[in-house]
Chain A
Amino acid sequence: MGKVGIIGVGQSRFVRAYPGSIREMVFESFKEAIGDAKIAGKDIDATVVCSAPEYDRQRSPAGVLVEYLGLNPQPTFNVETLCSSGTTGIRAAYSLVKSGLHDIVAVLGFQKTSEITAADSQERMGRGADIQWESPFGTTMPAYFAMFARGHMEKYGTTMEDMTRVRIKASTYGVLNEKAMIRKVLTINDFNAPASRLGAIHSSPLRVGDCCKNADGSSCIILANEEKSKAMSEKPVWILGLGSASASVNMAGRETFYSFHSAKEAAKKAYKMAGVQPGDIDVAEVHDGFTIAEIMAYEDLGFARPGDGPGLIASKETYKEGKIPVNVDGGILSKGHPIAATGGSQVRAIVLQLRGESGDFQVKDPALGLVHNVGGAGLYTNVIILGRE
């Protein structure tokens, strides 16, 4: 079997509350991806739909979406791994194409979080952990990540200022990204000023400004086999490595609170499959749902040694001009986090970088890109390595 390529990418503008239904929201990214790939709906042999349940009332969304998009009678199904659902869909689609079962597969990721209140959303996300033994204590995702932030601070001396730098970098690029929800340049004063909203504690030690925002949005990534990719796309981007791993759902099963074991495992597998090293990566999208998560990602992916993540952001090496640009589209912290649409948005960002189509935040001539997408508090991680060759 030959290589698997990405021939089309699309993303709706991520917003706090999309003024339409899920099918209409998904239509936006689908139309963009179809136009990008220069194909028609009838060319798509199957779809994989990515959605975390309970944010809207639609059960089994796959059927609803493919009917609206004109994709009957092609097969479809839903996949879900919390915030990493989008890249899990790409992993499934890769397998469908690589196996020869289908030639072209579209991955549709979406979430409409505005259907419920912020407190309800916290409760849903908190239940993306162990509902039997942890949720009865009132858990939330920010609090779980906060436990890792405190662990990283204790182990390596990481500071709140280090985490602030991650948010400031995200804002530097978010303002340039017309699909991002938050488009405002932030400075350290936005965290330190008296009565600052961003500086207020959310779940100690994390502040409001360390946490991403819920968003509504959709993404669409179209995969094709080697023959179709070469025939249909002028600039196909190839999937060179896929790594995926899981970890204990209960925090009582975690060995450490300063790293995600699932991320290290997934990265190891992806690098091995692609035959590349961390130093070979030219541009990356990492799961910065929380500032500490980006710092841990630098270390878990091997961009920095354990404990050196804060130094990497302090030296601005993860800015566009640095040695390993990370989240130069604004990341989740600026774009917002429509749960199962996020992975596709990350993949789209890297595909556009490798095609040289990222406009104001284009990195200079990248050949290899990486996507790191985490579901839950390190419960699942997918790492995908993409290349021009």
Chain B
Amino acid sequence: MATLAVDNRFNEFGTMSFTSVTRVNDFIGYLQQGRIMGSRCKKCGISFFPPRADCCHSLDSDMEWFEVKGTGKLLSFSTLRFGPTGFTQGLPYTIAVLDYGDYKIFGRIESSISEAELHIGMEMKTCPHRLTGGHVDYVFQKT
């Protein structure tokens, strides 16, 4: 009897993932192809990032993918000098939130950008990023 293959692609998200299986695992597939995707409820049209499998407004699960494009405004950021277990080798690094209007994105600033180059309100873009071990995430880059 064949065993069911587990789609645990979410293990590949970020430096260290704490989730293996999610109904939006295709997010990782898209990210591996270089595309950053959110999800939109087909019933009420609300866009979600991070993507969701279910809409909390319509309680409908008929969602479609949309690609994150353009730029977002930097809302806030912090550069960490102390990191949690599993992340200390990458210090310092900067976490941030970009506002795209219909949705916001939480992530990291691209590591070559110094803190002095950052200011709240600046436009940045979200780009796919490959890490070691086949892991993927995204980073914010200057436009």
Residues of A with Cβ closer than 8 Å to B?
Answer: 117, 119-120, 122-123, 126-127, 130-140, 142-144, 146-148, 150-151, 154, 200-206, 250-254, 257
Contact = CB atoms under 8 A, between A and B. Distances in A.
A150 B80 CA distance: 13
Nearest to B121: A154
27 contacts: A119-B88, A120-B85, A123-B85, A130-B106, A131-B19, A132-B18, A132-B19, A133-B106, A135-B18, A136-B14, A137-B15, A137-B106, A137-B107, A138-B16, A138-B108, A140-B80, A142-B80, A143-B95, A147-B96, A154-B120, A201-B79, A203-B80, A204-B78, A251-B97, A252-B49, A252-B50, A254-B104
A142 B14 CA distance: 20
B17 A136 contact: yes
A138 B90 contact: yes
Given A150-B77, A203-B81, A250-B50, A131 B18 contact: yes
Interface centre among A117, A127, A133, A146 (most CB of B within 10 A): A133
B15 A123 contact: no
Nearest to A253: B104
Contacts of B96: 147
Interface of B: 10, 13-19, 22, 49-50, 75-88, 90, 93, 95-97, 103-108, 115, 120-121, 137
Contacts of A203: 78-82
B106 A251 contact: yes
A135 B82 CA distance: 15
Contacts of A147: 76-78, 95-97
Nearest to B131: A136
Contact of A136 (B13, B80, B115): B13
A206 B79 CA distance: 10
Contact of B84 (A123, A148, A206, A251): A123
B47 to A, nearest CB: 12
Q: Which 4 residue pairs are nearest across A and B when measured between Cβ atoms? A: A136-B14, A138-B87, A123-B84, A146-B78
A134 B120 contact: no
A122 to B, nearest CB: 4
Given A150-B120, A257-B75, A134 B106 contact: yes
Contacts of A135: 14, 16, 18
A139 B103 CA distance: 20
B78 A143 contact: yes
A127 B18 CA distance: 9
Contacts of A150: 76-78, 120
A131 B86 CA distance: 14
B19 to A, nearest CB: 4
A252 B85 contact: no
A137 B103 contact: no
A122 B115 contact: no
A151 B104 CA distance: 15
Contacts of A142: 80, 82
Given A136-B16, A142-B80, A257-B76, 12 more contacts: A119-B85, A133-B106, A137-B14, A137-B107, A138-B95, A140-B82, A148-B76, A200-B81, A203-B82, A204-B115, A252-B103, A257-B75
Nearest to A248: B104
Nearest to A149: B78
A123 B86 CA distance: 8
A71 B96 CA distance: 48
A54 B90 CA distance: 25
Nearest to B75: A257
Given A150-B120, A252-B49, A252-B106, A136 B82 contact: no
B95 A137 contact: yes
B85 A136 contact: no
